[in-house]
Structure 1
Amino acid sequence: MARNSDLADLAASILGAGSDDRDGTGLDTAAWKACAGAGLTSLTDPDTGGTLDDAAVLLEVAGADAARLPLAETDLLAGWLARAAGLAVPDGPLAAVVTDATGGDRPAGTAGGTVTGSGGPAGTVSAALTRVPWGRSLAAVVVLDGDRVLVLDTGAAAVTEGANLAEEPRDGLTLDGVTPLATGSAPAGAAAELTLRAALARSLLLAGAARGALARSVAYAGERTQFGRPIGRFQAVQQMLAEAGAEVAAASAASAAATSTARRAGFAAPETAFAVAAAKARCSEAATAVARIAHQVHGAIGFTREHALRLVTTRLWAWRDEDGDEAFWNDRVGAAALDAGADGLWPLVTGRP
């Protein structure tokens, strides 16, 4: 796998091509084909030689360029779940769904639903799945239903179209009497790991979108003139941009630390759960501040549909709540700190004894 800087350049060359499409809302099929051809849709598959760090680089670029692709859903979530259950990963865009039967403490607003039927040899199932990311464009969904994993072809699904604030598809899928492409046993702790994986992926996307909003704001402040000089020369604007820069740095540091901890310790480790919780909470908080400052710098024009700023700021607003908002994850940070106690807090925070 290429060095991270090379990977970032490759990703930017592919994803940046569609970053000025202000009207696109569905899957960017050209970018998907390019990413798949370059091996970017399965970076965490052990057979590809990629790593979680590589996936993190890709997701930050995707966030900055407002890419219309289910990269995290396909690789970090659905691909991982299928491989963990010993199943082949289908080609094409994928999503993972955790059904209501699985239980667990999952964030509100995530994909869910129900599955009925055995799905065993020659058996069929019916499914009613809600808020499935990119549902209308998927090749398959990988469903965690209690202690089993089902891979369901979405070709025959009835689609009820929905969207988040950024107009990314969040669809309802209904399948009636379909034979699963594959079935397997769920690994222990699969639901909890999927929750952490989704939160980490969303943190990285948020960090990237915040960086994209800051870059657009800095550029605009250098171009827009008022009273005979660029507004970026006014101290008040400089102070706002500096504040946004600090938020971007904090989001990037938190998501990078969580990625490093997950790669080193694994998602089942308590320190990973703590690091991911802190990262998602911090990135969601940063999203609010950066979006506010970006629109203050741009003024009224930044709120128009025709302006590219909304592509990143609407994602900041949508993603800060998806896969757990800051309140959900701050509760987990607090609970972990209390459980660790006075003697265990420092090792939990630093990863050192």
Structure 2
Amino acid sequence: MSSEPNVRSDHQLELRDLAETIFADARAGASGAATGFDAELWQTLEQAGLARLTLPQAVGGSDGSLTDLAIVLESAGAHAARVPLVETDLLAGWLAHAAGLEVPAGPLAAVAGDLTVTSAGDRVTVSGALPRVPWARAAAAIVVLAANHVLVLAPSAVEITEGSNVAEEPRDTVTLAEVTLDAGTVATTPAGTAARFRQRAALGRALLLAGAARAALAESVRYAGQRVQFGRPIGRFQVIQQQLALAAAEVAAVGAATDAAARTAATDGFGADSTAFAVAAAKVRAGEAAGVVARIAHQVHGAIGFTREHALRLATTRLWAWRDEDGSEAWWSDELGSRALAVGGDGLWPLVTGAP
């Protein structure tokens, strides 16, 4: 992992202020029961240059860095933003561009899955089903990594069956019945694409988890200072203070892990062993923190925190949903263990610290 200190530049501080303002305004203007794609927020992000932050300007991006994107995604997670930022920028846009395909305009969905791909001349026919595709119903295009192909699918060419995760975010089933693609929408997968896709998806989800954990802690601290029991705010009771301190430690830990992973990916690239290790560690740590922070937040709030009208559920339902998406703690823990065994005792310390 990169040992560079976590010092934000003036540019990054301004970016965080911008992102916090945009996402907070969108959340304040939405109904507490609102679900699905927030088209107005997406338009604002497009206008601000945040929707495709890390993509090249030549394909409609802003030429930003992964550390810039990390700031935006953490803020999006904290404010329960209902937009496919990870999918559009970090996954679909990158995947199409890396394969030499045109990057479609608008919000995008991205998924890796098993499809039957048949080639006949300059045309390709695709069949199969892709379960739990994030934001498929809202996407202008769906970019798929299937075996050794990258496919750009028009929503009108597929059948979309709506579904959702526990946070009520779209997780749809996309069914393809012998869909024919022309040469401009299919390409051969570059070497190493599948591993890079997994790492990018896991890093994006971990950053969203870091934001949601921060939001759950902030909501709990606020509530503990307002809720009066036995003549004083419950935040003055030692047992509540201890639990909030534990939650704060978890939030700090996941923030440090995701920040390190983003900086390592920005410095070394997603093809590096150091990035693979850092991303796996960040996803594992984010999943562990999600369970602890959500539990403490609901213990502090009591029954009120479970109601649909309460803001806490926006954070905790996402913590529960996202911890298992793009690889569970068990899956990424196995990845960490495999990499540690592969380098052996002499290589473990350099692997963990990034030291030569």
TM normalised by structure 2 equals: 0.91
Residues 81-110 of structure 1 show CA distances to partners (whole Å, capped at 9, x for unaligned) of 01111112101111222222xxxxxxxxxx
Greater CA drift, 200-209 or 12-21: 12-21
Q: CA deviation at 1:118?
A: 2.9
Give 3-state SS (helix, strand or coil) of 2:81's partner. coil
Residues 145-190 of structure 1 show CA distances to partners (whole Å, capped at 9, x for unaligned) of 2222111111343221111111111001224434355222211011
1:58 aligns with 2:72: yes
Rounded Cα–Cα distance in structure 2 between residues aligned with 1:219 and 1:206: 20
Q: CA deviation at 1:226?
A: 1.1
Residue 171 (structure 1) aligns with: 172
Which of 197, 201, 206 aligns to 1:203? It is: 206
Q: CA deviation at 1:223?
A: 1.1
**Runs of 4+ in structure 1 over 4 Å off:** none
Greater CA drift, 55-64 or 121-130: 121-130
Rounded Cα–Cα distance in structure 1 between residues aligned with 2:239 and 2:73: 32
Gaps of 5+ in 1: 101-113
Residue 110 (structure 1) aligns with: none
TM normalised by structure 1 equals: 0.92
Alignment of 1:143-292 (within 5 A): 143-176=144-177, 177-180=179-182, 182-292=185-295
Change (3 A) 1:155 1:2: farther
Residue 105 (structure 1) aligns with: none
Paired residue type of 2:264 = T
Residue 84 (structure 1) aligns with: 98
Rounded Cα–Cα distance in structure 2 between residues aligned with 1:159 and 1:342: 49
Residue 5 (structure 2) aligns with: none
Rounded Cα–Cα distance in structure 1 between residues aligned with 2:340 and 2:326: 21
Q: CA deviation at 1:281?
A: 0.3
Identity percentage over the alignment? 61
Which of 17, 27, 47 aligns to 1:19? It is: 27
Give the number of aligned pairs: 340
Q: CA deviation at 1:7?
A: 1.2
Residues 93-139 of structure 1 show CA distances to partners (whole Å, capped at 9, x for unaligned) of 11222222xxxxxxxxxxxxx24443863555445322110111111
Rounded Cα–Cα distance in structure 2 between residues aligned with 1:2 and 1:72: 24
CA RMSD of aligned residues (A): 1.7
Which of 338, 343, 347 aligns to 2:346? It is: 343
Whether the aligned pair in 1 keeps the contact of 2:117 and 2:124 (CA below 8 Å) is no
Change (3 A) 1:179 1:119: farther
Residue 63 (structure 2) aligns with: 49
Residue 103 (structure 1) aligns with: none
Greater CA drift, 4-13 or 73-82: 4-13
Which of 43, 50, 63 aligns to 1:33? It is: 43
